[in-house]
Structure 1
Amino acid sequence: MKYLSFIFVFSLTLALGIFVSRPFGQIPPLAPLLDPYHGFWQNSFSEDQLADQELVLENLSNEVQVIYDEHLIPHIFAQNDLDLYRAQGYITAKHRLWQMEFQTRAAAGRISEIVGPVALELDRMTRRKGLAYGAELGIKYLEENDPETLALVEAYADGVNQYINQLTAAKLPVEYKILNYQPEPWSAYKSLLLLKYMSDMLVGDRDLEFSNLRKILGEAKLNRLYPDFPKQNDPVIEKERVWDFQPLSITKPDSINFPNDELVIEPIDQPVEGTGSNNWAVHGSKTKNGNPILANDPHLSLNLPSLWYAMQLSTPEHSVKGATLPGALGVISGFNEHVAWGVTNATKDTRDWYKIEFKDTERSAYKYGNEWKETRVRIEEIKIKGKETYVDTVVYTHYGPVVYDRTFKSNRQDVNFALRWIVHEGSNEQKTFLKLNKAKSHADYNEALDHYSAPAQNFVFASKSGDIAMRIQGKFPLKWPGQGKFFLDGSDPRMEWQGFIPNDHNASTLNPQRGFVSSANQHPVDSSYPYYVFDNSYEHYRNRRLNSKLMELSQITVEDMKSLQFDNFNLQAAEALPVMLNLLGTYEVESAEADKYVKELRAWDFFADPNKKGQTLYSIWFGKIMESVWGELMENKAPVVRPNAYQTIDLLANYRTDSIFDIKSTEALESAEYHVKVGFDSLMVAMKKWEQEEGDFTWANYKRTTIQHLVPNFKSFSVSNVYTGGGSGILNATGSRHGASWRMVVELGEQIQAFGIYPGGQSGNPGSRFYENFIPIWANGEYVDFSLKKSSEEDGILFKTTLKRQ
Structure 2
Amino acid sequence: MKYIGFFVAFALTIALAVAVSRPFGAIPPLAPLLDPNNGFWQNTFSEDELAEEELELSNLSAEVKVIYDENLIPHVFASNDADLYRAQGYITAKHRLWQMEFQTMAAGGRLSEVVGSLALDLDRMTRRKGLSYGAEKGAEFIKENDPESYLLLEAYADGVNQYIDQLSDARLPVEYKILNYRPEHWSAFKSILLLKYMTDMLVGDRDLEYSNLRKILGEVMLDKLYPEYPQGVDPIIESGHKWGFKSLSVTRPDSISYPDNLLLIDPMPQPEDGTGSNNWAVSGSKTKSGNPILANDPHLSLNLPSLWYSMQLTTPDHSVKGATLPGALGVISGFNEDIAWGVTNATRDTRDWYKITFQDNTRKAYRYGDRWEQTTFRIEEIKVKGEKVFLDTVVYTHYGPVVYDKTFNSNRQDVNFALKWNVHEGSNEQKTFLLLNASKNHEDYNEALNNYTAPAQNFVFASKSGDIAMRIQGKFPLKWRGQGKFFMDGADPRMEWQGYIPNDQNARTLNPSRGFVSSANQHPTDSTYPYYVFDNSFEFYRNRRLNNQLKGMSNITVEDMQGLQFDDYYLHAAEALPIMLGLLGKDSESDAVAKKYLALLNEWDFYADPNQKAPTVFYIWWKKTYAHIWTDLTNNIAPVVLPSYYQTVLFMKNEPTDSIFNLKNTADIETAATHVKQGFKEMLVDMAKWEADEGDFSWANYKRTKIQHLVPQFKSFSVDNVYTGGGSGMLNATSDRAGASWRMVVELGEEIKAFGIYPGGQSGNPGSKYYSNFINKWANGEYLNFDLRKSDQAEGVLFQTILN
Match of 1:95 in 2: 95
The unaligned stretches of length 5 or more in structure 2 are none
Cα displacement (A) at 1:16: 3.0
Cα displacement (A) at 1:635: 1.0
Correspondences of 1:442-453 after superposition (within 5 Å): 442-453=442-453
Cα displacement (A) at 1:56: 0.3
Match of 1:535 in 2: 535
* d(CA) in 2 for partners of 1:710, 1:271: 16
* d(CA) in 1 for partners of 2:560, 2:466: 19
Contact 1:777 / 1:783 at 8 angstroms: preserved in 2? yes
Cα displacement (A) at 1:539: 0.6
Match of 1:238 in 2: 238
Contact 2:584 / 2:677 at 8 angstroms: preserved in 1? yes
Contact 1:468 / 1:516 at 8 angstroms: preserved in 2? yes
Correspondences of 1:137-216 after superposition (within 5 Å): 137-216=137-216
Cα displacement (A) at 1:592: 1.6
Q: Is 2:478 the partner of 1:478?
A: yes
Question: What code does the residue aligned with 1:83 have?
Answer: D
Question: What code does the residue aligned with 1:291 have?
Answer: N
Contact 1:14 / 1:716 at 8 angstroms: preserved in 2? no
Q: Is 2:19 the partner of 1:18?
A: yes
* d(CA) in 2 for partners of 1:320, 1:242: 34
Match of 1:636 in 2: 636
Cα displacement (A) at 1:273: 1.1
Q: Is 2:148 the partner of 1:121?
A: no
Question: What code does the residue aligned with 2:294 have?
Answer: L
Contact 2:300 / 2:738 at 8 angstroms: preserved in 1? yes
For residues 370-424 of structure 1, the C-alpha deviation after alignment (integer angstroms, 9 at most, x for no partner) is: 1100000000011111111110000000000000111111111111110000100
Q: Is 2:260 the partner of 1:260?
A: yes
Question: What code does the residue aligned with 1:137 have?
Answer: K
* d(CA) in 1 for partners of 2:542, 2:786: 26
Correspondences of 1:506-585 after superposition (within 5 Å): 506-585=506-585
Match of 1:318 in 2: 318
Contact 1:5 / 1:44 at 8 angstroms: preserved in 2? no
* d(CA) in 2 for partners of 1:143, 1:241: 39
Q: Judging changes above 3 Å, is the alpha-carbon distance between structure 1 residues 722 and 576 closer, same or farther for their aligned structure 2 residues? A: same
Contact 1:708 / 1:717 at 8 angstroms: preserved in 2? yes
* d(CA) in 1 for partners of 2:411, 2:540: 39
* d(CA) in 2 for partners of 1:23, 1:233: 46
Runs of 4+ in 1 over 6 A off after TM superposition: 3-6
* d(CA) in 1 for partners of 2:758, 2:769: 15
Q: Judging changes above 3 Å, is the alpha-carbon distance between structure 1 residues 796 and 72 closer, same or farther for their aligned structure 2 residues? A: same
Contact 2:588 / 2:594 at 8 angstroms: preserved in 1? no
Match of 2:279 in 1: 279
Match of 1:717 in 2: 717
Match of 2:54 in 1: 54
For residues 186-233 of structure 1, the C-alpha deviation after alignment (integer angstroms, 9 at most, x for no partner) is: 000000000000000000000000000000000000001000111011
The unaligned stretches of length 5 or more in structure 1 are none
Q: Is 2:680 the partner of 1:677?
A: no
Q: Judging changes above 3 Å, is the alpha-carbon distance between structure 1 residues 590 and 684 closer, same or farther for their aligned structure 2 residues? A: farther
Q: Judging changes above 3 Å, is the alpha-carbon distance between structure 1 residues 801 and 240 closer, same or farther for their aligned structure 2 residues? A: same
Contact 1:477 / 1:498 at 8 angstroms: preserved in 2? yes
Correspondences of 1:324-723 after superposition (within 5 Å): 324-589=324-589, 591-723=591-723
- Which shows bigger deviation, 729-738 or 239-248? 239-248
Contact 2:588 / 2:595 at 8 angstroms: preserved in 1? no
Match of 1:768 in 2: 768
Cα displacement (A) at 1:260: 1.9
Cα displacement (A) at 1:23: 2.5
Cα displacement (A) at 1:14: 3.8
Match of 2:229 in 1: 229
* d(CA) in 2 for partners of 1:504, 1:370: 36
Question: What code does the residue aligned with 1:200 have?
Answer: D
* d(CA) in 2 for partners of 1:76, 1:732: 32
* d(CA) in 1 for partners of 2:14, 2:578: 50
Correspondences of 1:24-63 after superposition (within 5 Å): 24-63=24-63
SS of 2:200's equivalent in the other structure is: helix
* d(CA) in 2 for partners of 1:6, 1:467: 59
Q: Judging changes above 3 Å, is the alpha-carbon distance between structure 1 residues 7 and 236 closer, same or farther for their aligned structure 2 residues? A: farther
SS of 2:418's equivalent in the other structure is: strand
* d(CA) in 2 for partners of 1:527, 1:706: 39
Number of positions where the alignment pairs a residue of Structure 1 with one of Structure 2:
803
Contact 1:236 / 1:525 at 8 angstroms: preserved in 2? yes
For residues 523-550 of structure 1, the C-alpha deviation after alignment (integer angstroms, 9 at most, x for no partner) is: 1111011000111211101000000110
Question: What code does the residue aligned with 1:16 have?
Answer: A
Q: TM-score, normalised by structure 1?
A: 0.99
- Which shows bigger deviation, 535-544 or 120-129? 535-544
Question: What code does the residue aligned with 1:667 have?
Answer: A
* d(CA) in 1 for partners of 2:31, 2:406: 46
Q: Judging changes above 3 Å, is the alpha-carbon distance between structure 1 residues 752 and 10 closer, same or farther for their aligned structure 2 residues? A: farther
Contact 1:11 / 1:717 at 8 angstroms: preserved in 2? no
Match of 1:735 in 2: 735
For residues 262-297 of structure 1, the C-alpha deviation after alignment (integer angstroms, 9 at most, x for no partner) is: 211110000011100000000000000000000000
For residues 451-498 of structure 1, the C-alpha deviation after alignment (integer angstroms, 9 at most, x for no partner) is: 000000000000000000000000000000000000111011110000
SS of 2:153's equivalent in the other structure is: helix
* d(CA) in 2 for partners of 1:588, 1:688: 16
* d(CA) in 2 for partners of 1:242, 1:689: 56
* d(CA) in 1 for partners of 2:7, 2:510: 56
Question: What code does the residue aligned with 2:471 have?
Answer: R
Match of 1:135 in 2: 135
Cα displacement (A) at 1:700: 0.2
SS of 1:686's equivalent in the other structure is: helix
Cα displacement (A) at 1:575: 0.5
Contact 2:111 / 2:123 at 8 angstroms: preserved in 1? yes
Contact 2:298 / 2:343 at 8 angstroms: preserved in 1? yes
* d(CA) in 1 for partners of 2:23, 2:463: 53
What do you get for the CA RMSD once the two structures are aligned?
1.0
Cα displacement (A) at 1:631: 1.1
SS of 1:23's equivalent in the other structure is: helix
SS of 2:23's equivalent in the other structure is: coil
Cα displacement (A) at 1:439: 0.3
Q: Judging changes above 3 Å, is the alpha-carbon distance between structure 1 residues 682 and 206 closer, same or farther for their aligned structure 2 residues? A: same
Question: What code does the residue aligned with 2:17 have?
Answer: L
